[in-house]
């Protein structure tokens, strides 16, 4: 029994290293979750809890795990929410996100690749704008990882969601990258 435990532990360790390498992250910067939806929920709820509320900016085309979580946080009175629109190809204008930022903005969440039309969003540009204002950036990269190169350092994001089943992992496996030094409260 113990030998099987060691084999399993080694396999999980290799998986952690592969996931980190795939994202350009350090092994200590990603946490396995039950899937993309949990990772998205945790990114939003965890940052809002750690920052004590504030303002959140997201786009109208986000996955429901982001958009509905943000709307729920707004209904709960935990945040003010701004949802920015997109152009005819489903792309967010970084200038519109910049205009939406306020002194109390704590987080901007913008998907990397749209799950319905495939549009790649200007996440690196948005992250640069937000970094200058001290705003954390989350990206749901569920549709992008494994299809286009995804490097958390190049993107400049603080949090990034991966859904394992999009990458041939078993269902019920996700990852949340959390940049070292970013405060995020646990969900449970």
Helix (H, G, I), strand (E, B) or coil at 170: coil
Average pLDDT score over residue span 149-169: 87
Contact 114, 143 (CB under 8 A): yes
Lowest mean pLDDT among 12-21, 25-34, 74-83, 141-150: 12-21
Please give the DSSP secondary-structure letter assigned to residue 69: H
Question: Residue 47: which H helix or E strand, with range?
Answer: helix 36-51
**Predicted pLDDT of residue 154:** 96
**Predicted pLDDT of residue 65:** 97
* pLDDT score of 21 more than 80: no
Average pLDDT score over residue span 139-151: 91
Helix (H, G, I), strand (E, B) or coil at 1: coil
Global pTM?
A: 0.91
**Predicted pLDDT of residue 10:** 84
Q: What percent of the chain has pLDDT over 70?
A: 96
**Predicted pLDDT of residue 77:** 98
Burial class (CB in 10 A: 0-12, 13-18, 19+), 3: exposed
Per the prediction, the chain carries an average pLDDT of 92
Tens-place pLDDT, residues 30-83: 788 999 999 999 999 999 999 999 999 999 999 999 999 999 999 999 999 999
Lowest mean pLDDT among 11-25, 108-122, 151-165: 11-25
Question: Which among 113, 109, 153 has a CA at the least distance from the CA of 130?
Answer: 109
């Amino acid at each position: 029994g113990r030998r099987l435990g060691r084999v399993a532990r080694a396999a999980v360790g290799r998986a952690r290293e592969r996931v980190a390498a795939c994202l350009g992250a350090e092994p200590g910067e990603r946490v396995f979750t039950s899937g993309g939806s949990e990772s998205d929920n945790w990114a939003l709820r965890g940052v809002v809890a750690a920052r004590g509320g504030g303002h959140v900016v997201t786009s109208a085309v986000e996955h429901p795990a982001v958009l509905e979580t943000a709307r729920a946080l707004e209904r709960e009175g935990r945040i003010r929410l701004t949802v920015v629109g997109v152009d005819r190809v489903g792309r967010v204008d970084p200038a519109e996100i910049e205009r939406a930022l306020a002194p109390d903005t704590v987080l901007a969440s913008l998907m990397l690749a749209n799950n319905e039309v495939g549009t790649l969003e200007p996440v690196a540009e948005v992250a640069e704008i937000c970094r200058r204002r001290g705003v954390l950036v989350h990206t749901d990269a569920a549709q992008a990882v494994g299809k286009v190169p995804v490097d958390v350092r190049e993107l400049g994001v603080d949090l990034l969601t991966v859904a394992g089943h999009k990458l041939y992992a078993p269902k019920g496996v996700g990852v949340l990258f959390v940049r070292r030094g970013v405060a995020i409260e646990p969900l449970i």
